[in-house]
Amino acid sequence: MDEKILEIKNLSIEYPISIGIVQAVKDVSLDLHRGEALGLVGESGCGKSTLGLSILNMVRPPGKIVSGKIVYRGKDILSMRDREILKIRGQNIAMVFQNPLTSLNPLFRIDRQFLETIQQHEPDVPKKDALRRAERILDALGIEQKRLYEYPHQLSGGMRQRIMIGLGLIMNPDIIIADEPTTSLDVIVEAGFIDLLNKLRKEFNLSIILITHNLGLVAEIADRIAVMYGGAIVEEGTAEQIYHDPLHPYTYGLINCVPNINMDQQELITMPGNPPDLVNPPPGCRFEDRCPYVMDICKEQFPPLLSHRDGQKSACWLYKEKEAAPWKS
Amino acid sequence: MEELIRADNLTKEFPVQKSFVDLLLAGYKRQVVHAVDNISFNIMKGEVLGLAGESGSGKSTTGRLLLRLIEPTSGTILYKGRDITSFSTREMERLRERIQIVFQDPNSSLNPRMSVGAAIAHPLQIHKIGNSREQKGMVLSLMEKVGLTPADFLYKKYPHQISGGQSQRVVLARALITNPEFIVADEPIAMADVSVRALILELMKKLKSEFNLTYLFITHDLATAKYLCDRIAVMYLGRIVEMGSRDELFLHPHHPYTKALLEAVPIPDPRQRRREEVVRGEIPSAIEPPPGCHFHPRCSHAISKCKSHRPPLREITPRHLSACILDG
Ligand SMILES: Nc1ncnc2c1ncn2[C@@H]1O[C@H](COP(=O)(O)OP(=O)(O)OP(=O)(O)O)[C@@H](O)[C@H]1O
Ligand SMILES: Nc1ncnc2c1ncn2[C@@H]1O[C@H](COP(=O)(O)OP(=O)(O)OP(=O)(O)O)[C@@H](O)[C@H]1O
Ligand SMILES: [Mg+2]
Ligand SMILES: [Mg+2]
């Protein structure tokens, strides 16, 4: 699991708009290892999708990557030519988005969508072989083969979601980036999706980046988790560290504000206030105005993401001097 | 405890809209969706009844029926012992001061051209309560109570100028302004961000005791239901399959569907990862649901009788009901 398959280095992304510049991603660095499931969590507007899209240089205009590198197997994706990226996009890194109805073409039967994907990368593959490959993928996803000959609207939401994954997997990628893949699904279908991802990981040694605001979902899959707030990663660690020993006050608040069905909670932790305006944000920590532990320095200087212990990193001035989180004493 | 609302044998069918081609192919057979299929339950004063279940199980339809926003196909709804299905328009109008509904998406339920203050005051105008100065006073004081502060400042803002969490508070305030007794909250936090959800849940708890409210709380998230509700009814394809107190339902679930749902709830704790695979299959169509027990095609305990008999919802232990042939 030590082999780094993807490295995001000091990435910053901006959206210039009429009233100023949205600093959607600020100085983010993050590694993905082979066979690892990495969760990227945070609330609406914190920059998760922008970061996910940037990995394949797909940030939508007017968005611009203003600095940083994305290194995939030793090469910087951001300095590649479009043709090279297109090849990686199909064959090595797959993306699965939130709404499968808008990502599947409603006018074409499922078989045609598989054929086009395969022939785009391997124009010489006979149709019969390509279809056989599609059928095998459907088997692995637990969908009857006859569904291949139906249109997207004839399938349930859960099936469409799995077809999307199937289309992503058909070229045997080594990374799959899933952005809110279960948002429109019911819990039982969602749980089936979790089972599927875990199976695929074991079978294909797939690396996964799971982007979501669902803290239950990441807890079920992720080995490591990065927490984003206001365009920056505020904490990164193993799932165990994030849920049981968080360092950043935002992580602590986020983890403890969700109802847990296995617990008898009397009260949820609440975090009053709103996320920061990313248009010309103030210079300090972006959580400063909601943080119960705010200090003078937090308002003046942007905290860098630093290692603390056993690979756990946090971007918080609290740990400049002390070791333990304030809620631990 | 006094009974506030009671639904008896409530049923709602919707006609299926069919295209011309479908009609040609299938003939003129009239088809309906059994959105709510003969359900009975009550809600005591001061109680929070949760209505849980997957998409399309009939939760919202049930909530709308209770307020007569749609008319039942059959069945009765008693409000403090009086059957409201036979109320006149005027009687219904008066009742609507006392029973209110809060929807899922605050943005689509707020008029973009109405300021926060005007939106909250709107029900007062409809029900002709107070003059405009009194109305403003009532709105400002309620805004303080739901955390829309500074109230003076937010009063003049428009929906696009406030955050999602604030919008949901406006919707809550608008529902509370006529001082209702009963609120149907239809997935009030489903669209909200994680931290906003916690704030709204805590607020709903606080308002409940402050205003002595009774809730029907609709949600597909059982963890939220467990957090807020006193009693929970689980729906599947238009029917209540299990109903019981929060402790009973979560500690001793009976119905295989309830168990499957509980199994599938993701736990926000990596130490408690689910190890078993979940049940396969998806919720069938409500137009031609499976005969007998609707859940039998997905149920690993199903016997042949399940395919032909609708299991009655019956009491297993006091106040804990389940609709499974295999019970008891
Ligand atoms: N096309 C765009 N033009 C201008 N600003 C944008 C654009 N796309 C995103 N942004 C802004 O960039 C920031 C990050 O957005 P992004 O979509 O990456 O967030 P997210 O974490 O994926 O949110 P969500 O959970 O709602 O999907 C937000 O402030 C958003 O308003
Ligand atoms: N106005 C309508 N006309 C026709 N069918 C309807 C109508 N309203 C609801 N239905 C159908 O009735 C069934 C129950 O719908 P309802 O909205 O009550 O479910 P729900 O449990 O609230 O689902 P969700 O969790 O998705 O909100 C569904 O099959 C739905 O398609
Ligand atoms: Mg997003
Ligand atoms: Mg609904």
pLDDT in tens, B149-188: 889 999 999 999 888 888 989 999 999 999 999 999 999 8
pLDDT of res. B229: 97
Report the alpha-carbon distance of residue A302 to residue A283 in Å, rounded.
6
Q: What one-character DSSP code corresponds to residue A258?
A: S
CA B146 remoteness from chain centre? 21
SS3 assignment, position B223? helix
pLDDT the model gives residue B216: 98
pLDDT tens string A265-320: 888 989 988 888 899 888 999 999 999 999 999 999 999 999 998 889 999 999 98
Ligand 1 lined by A45 (C-beta under 6 Å): yes
A1 vs A105, higher pLDDT:
A105
B138 alpha carbon – ligand 3 mean position (Å): 39
Confidence of residue A182 (pLDDT cuts 50, 70, 90): confident
Helix, strand, coil share of chain A (percent; to 5): 40, 25, 40
Residues of chain A contacting residue B201, judged by C-beta atoms under 8 Å apart: 259, 268
> Would the pLDDT of B63 be above 90?
yes
Distances in Å between the Cα of A89 and the Cα atoms of A46, A83, A168, A171, B231 are 24, 10, 9, 10, 50
pLDDT at B260 over 60: yes
Q: How confident is residue B311, by pLDDT bands cut at 50, 70 and 90?
A: very high
Question: If you average pLDDT over every residue of chain B, what do you get?
Answer: 91
* B208 sits in which H/E element: helix B194-211
Starting at the edge strand found earlier in the chain, the sheet holding A175-179 runs A93-96, A175-179, A207-212, A37-41, A224-229, A232-238, A312-314, A306-309
User: Which chain A residues contact residue B277 at CB under 8 A?
Assistant: 192, 195
Question: Which residue in the block uniquely carries the two structure tokens 């197997």?
Answer: A73
- Of the candidates B111, B244, B270, the one whose C-alpha atom is nearest the C-alpha of residue A239 is B270
Looking up tokens 């212990």 gives: A309
Query: Is A270 close to B282, i.e. CB distance below 8 A?
Result: no
- Which residue did the predictor score with more confidence, A138 or B80? B80
In this structure, what DSSP letter does residue B179 have?
-
| Binding-face residues of B in 187-246 toward A, CB within 8 A | 193-195, 197-199, 201-202, 220-224, 226-227
CA dist B243 → A236, A239, A241, B252, B298 (Å): 42, 35, 38, 11, 20
B287 touches chain A (CB under 8 A): no
| Complex confidence, ipTM | 0.88
Q: Which helix (H) or strand (E) holds B90?
A: helix B89-95
Contact yes or no for B266 and A240 at CB 8 A: no
**For residue A227, is pLDDT > 60?**
yes
- Interchain CB distance below 8 Å, A257 and B195: yes
Cβ of B194 and A257 within 8 Å?
yes
Contact A231, A286 (CB under 8 A): yes
Share of chain B above pLDDT 90, in %: 75
Q: Is B29 a residue whose pLDDT tops 60?
A: yes
Helices (H), chain A: 48-54, 82-91, 100-103, 110-121, 127-140, 157-169, 187-204, 215-221, 239-244, 249-256, 296-300
Ligand 1 pocket residue status of A17, Cβ below 6 Å: yes
Question: What percent of the residues of chain B are helix, what percent strand, and what percent coil, each to the nearest 5?
Answer: 40, 20, 40
| Spatial separation of the C-alpha atoms in residues A327 and A315, rounded to whole Å | 17
Rounded CA-CA distance A192/B186 in Å is: 26
d(Cα A10, Cα A31) in Å, to the nearest integer? 11
Q: If pLDDT is split at 50, 70 and 90, which confidence band does B21 have?
A: low
**Strand pairing report for A306-309 and A312-314:** antiparallel
Q: What is the DSSP string of A137-151?
A: HHHHTT--GGGGGS-
Whether the Cβ atoms of residue B76 and residue B83 lie closer than 8 Å to each other: yes
Q: Which residues contact A296 (CB under 8 A, 6 or more apart)?
A: none
Q: Return the ∠ at Cα B5 (arms to B53 and B320), rounded to 5°.
A: 50
pLDDT the model gives residue B236: 96
Residue B277 contacts A, CB cutoff 8 Å: yes
Portion of chain A with pLDDT greater than 90, in percent? 63
